[in-house]
Amino acid sequence: MNGSRNAKSPVIPATLRRLSVALALATLVVSCGEGPKQAGGPPPPAVTVAKPVKQTVVDYDEYVGRFIAVDSVEMRARVSGSLDGVHFKDGQMVKQGDLLFTIDRRPFQNALDQARANLVQTKSNLAYTESDLARGQQLVRDKTITEQTFEQRSQAARNAAAAVSGAEAAVRQAELDLEFTELKAPINGRIGDRRVSRGNLVTGGAGGNTTLLATIVSIDPIRFEFSFDEASYLRYERLANSGSDVASRNGGVPVALKLIDEPNFDHRGHMDFIDNVIDRSTGTIRGRAVFDNPNGIFTPGMFARARVPGSASYEAMLIPDVAIGSEQVRKFILVVDGEGVARPKYVTLGQLLGGLRVIKDGVGPEDRVIINGMARVRPGLKVTAQEQPPESGKPAAAAAPASPTKTD
């Protein structure tokens, strides 16, 4: 019995040794799988900051309107007749006095010749009655003829003189009718297409059923007409009364304009008229500006967008528009304080000048505004701020461009 137990006792230490080796290997594997432990949290995010730019600016208002011609004329005949000739090409530029249409002259030439013949006859009758009256003056003094006979001769002379005057008026009218057979351009401008072809009868005169032959519109200069609301009108008038040079009825206020395919307000004109009544149905009042149009690119009826001064000049702070954040309806910026912490500031926005936004309220000249890295920052977080170099950023060398936009 004792010998048997002594033979099996060495098995237990071997098992323990194998278990110890397994535990040691497991500990080694676990220790090898652990990475290096970090000593602390993540570093503060890096951001770029810049101070606002102080600049003299003017608020602008933008309006959509249409071009209208300074002069527009409908060509209609003053006399009726057969259209004998058309002396222009559809759509060409014409000058004042250019011959455009001719009406058959022959009937009017005949009427003029007849009127002149009647004038000669009446003048001959006047000469006879005047000589008869002169003889009657001596005869009535000699009592050769009665006073009644002398009065009859006087009346005949007066009637003959009146007939001459009537015949002369008939000649002048016949000459006018003959002149009206030639229709000439009354203004400089562009003529439309002919509405009547040669050989057709046209109706002339001063009635409402006359025949429209063509239309001419002036091109240079051209007017731009737009409407603005009653509140803007009151603001303009008060600024004008205070001496500020804004959109007023006195005229001369500069207006910039761009067409629908242009990015900037590169065309320059000036105000020349504001209406004297406010439209009761729309609550707006009509304004008008004048622009030079030497190349004829502006066409009556064309849409465009105009920009007029909406305030007097004032000093404003400008920051890059990318630095503006939105919180529902409020706008804010993030500034870095003296302790390097991002703080929000709610601001009132003005117009956009090229990539710079006018800030009317909420920012100071010494504020360090975060302009790059806002997506990595939240209010109250400590940041690493880097000043923007003056030569690389817009705020240091920004100038008012030609295309400001209205406040968001």
Q: Please report the pLDDT score of residue 238 as a whole number.
A: 84
Q: Taking the complete model, does pTM exceed 0.85, yes or no?
A: no
335, 395, 397 from 390: Cα distances, Å: 18, 8, 8
Sort 20 into a burial class: Cβ within 10 Å, 0-12 / 13-18 / 19+: exposed
What are the structural domain ranges in the chain?
47-57+313-396, 61-69+220-309, 75-103+184-217, 106-179
- Could you say which architecture CATH assigns to the domain 61-69+220-309? Beta Barrel (2.40)
Task: Report the amino acid identity of residue 52.
Answer: P
- Strand ranges (E), 259-312: 267-274, 284-291, 303-309
Q: Which fold has domain 106-179?
A: Helix Hairpins (1.10.287)
Q: Please report the pLDDT score of residue 249 as a whole number.
A: 58
Cα 171 from Cα 187, distance rounded (Å): 29
CA 383, 388, 392: angle at the middle one, nearest 5? 150
Residue 52: half-sphere exposure toward Cβ, Cα within 13 Å: 26
Q: Please report the pLDDT score of residue 364 as a whole number.
A: 85
- Could you say which architecture CATH assigns to the domain 75-103+184-217? Beta Barrel (2.40)
> Residues for the chain: how many in total?
408
Contact 122, 166 (CB under 8 A): yes
What is the DSSP-derived secondary structure letter of residue 42? P
Tokens found for residue 157: 């002379």
Cα 349 from Cα 353, distance rounded (Å): 12
Task: Find residue 27's DSSP bridge partners.
Answer: none
Scored b (16 or more CB within 10 A) or e, 54-92 reads: ebebbbbbbbebebebbeebebbbebebebeebebeeee
Task: Find residue 320's DSSP bridge partners.
Answer: 356
Taking only the tens of pLDDT, the chain with its 408 residues reads 444 444 444 444 555 456 455 545 545 444 444 444 444 567 888 888 888 888 888 888 899 999 999 999 999 999 999 999 999 999 999 999 999 999 999 999 999 999 999 999 999 999 989 888 888 887 877 777 788 888 888 899 899 999 999 999 999 999 999 999 999 999 999 999 999 999 999 999 877 789 999 999 999 999 999 999 999 888 888 887 776 655 555 567 889 999 999 988 999 999 988 998 999 999 999 999 999 999 989 999 999 999 988 887 888 889 888 888 888 888 898 999 888 898 898 998 888 877 788 888 888 888 889 888 888 888 888 888 888 765 444 443 333 343 454 444
Q: Please report the pLDDT score of residue 40 as a whole number.
A: 53
Q: Which fold has domain 47-57+313-396?
A: 2.40.420
Coil/strand/helix, residue 99: strand
Q: With residue 158 as reference, give the H or E element that holds it.
A: helix 147-179
